[in-house]
Amino acid sequence: QQPVQSPQAVILREGEDAVINCSSSKALYSVHWYRQKHGEAPVFLMILLKGGEQKGHDKISASFNEKKQQSSLYLTASQLSYSGTYFCGTDSGGSNYKLTFGKGTLLTVNP
Amino acid sequence: NAGVMQNPRHLVRRRGQEARLRCSPMKGHSHVYWYRQLPEEGLKFMVYLQKENIIDESGMPKERFSAEFPKEGPSILRIQQVVRGDSAAYFCASSPPSLAGGNEQFFGPGTRLTVL
């Protein structure tokens, strides 16, 4: 079952914050976040594991609520380089490799 | 350390021809994954391979598609008798030997297949 991402698209001005949500109808073992720029490879951002943790680096962080079967990606003080499509990939089988990706959230950061 | 390499980057085939997509994983990575991405869609898992072994091919169409990862050389995704519906971007990812708790998958730049 494909996770549902929201919003589908968001437009920000440089310096503004954004939250991208990823919800699953299945129990999750892990959530993987990627950013993809048009025509390029998806770039790994972070993995969150079962256990309800929060991770972050620089101004991008994420949380994982195991009970609610959802994860949120937080982008603070956005930069132009943050523009792209953000995908969450979920592992609901405990395989550690078989990811089911959402349809993505298109983030546009304008000057 | 070079990243995941894929070639060709763009491939055009006529209906009924064969398409061969190649993927060289990052140095030190022994696990390869293939994903397909349709326009405006997320990546869809196709197959997971280790050297000389197909571990999970549950996402592969039952016919015309095959994958291998030989002892020497790149991983190959092969599509026989291509049809228009095969047009998509095919991404390869690799990861190091398994660690408990999930592996970061590093993606290549993809091969964009167009079937005329």
List the single residue in B4, B43, B103 with the smallest CB-CB distance to A101: B43
| Distance, CA of A88 to CA of A33 (rounded, Å) | 5
Contacts of residue B45 in chain A, CB cutoff 8 Å?
A: 98-100
Which pLDDT score, from 0 to 100, does residue A62 have? 92
Structure tokens at B48: 């997971």
Structure tokens at B60: 């592969």
In chain B, which residue's Cα lies nearest the Cα of A31? Answer: B102
Cβ of A34 and B107 within 8 Å?
yes
Cβ A50 vs Cβ A30: under 8 Å = yes
Q: What are phi and psi of B89, to 5 degrees?
A: -95, 130
Across the range B9-17, mean pLDDT stands at: 97
| Distance, CA of A26 to CA of B66 (rounded, Å) | 29
- Whether A8 has its CB under 8 Å from any CB of chain B: the answer is no
| Distance, CA of B8 to CA of A67 (rounded, Å) | 43
* pLDDT one-digit tens code per residue, A46-91: 888 877 666 667 789 999 988 889 999 999 999 999 999 999 999 8
Which pLDDT score, from 0 to 100, does residue A92 have? 83
How many other CB atoms are found less than 10 A from the CB of residue A76? Answer: 14
* pLDDT one-digit tens code per residue, B64-109: 999 999 999 999 999 999 999 999 999 999 988 765 445 788 999 9
Residue A24 carries which side chain, given as an amino acid letter?
S
Cβ B46 vs Cβ B59: under 8 Å = yes
Which pLDDT score, from 0 to 100, does residue B104 have? 82
| Distance, CA of A87 to CA of A106 (rounded, Å) | 9
* pLDDT one-digit tens code per residue, B27-66: 888 899 999 998 878 899 999 999 889 999 999 999 999 9
Q: Which percentage of chain A shows pLDDT scores above 90?
A: 61
**Is A3 in a helix, a strand, or coil?**
coil
Structure tokens at B46: 């196709």
B88, A23, A63, B59 alpha-carbon torsion, rounded to 10°: -40
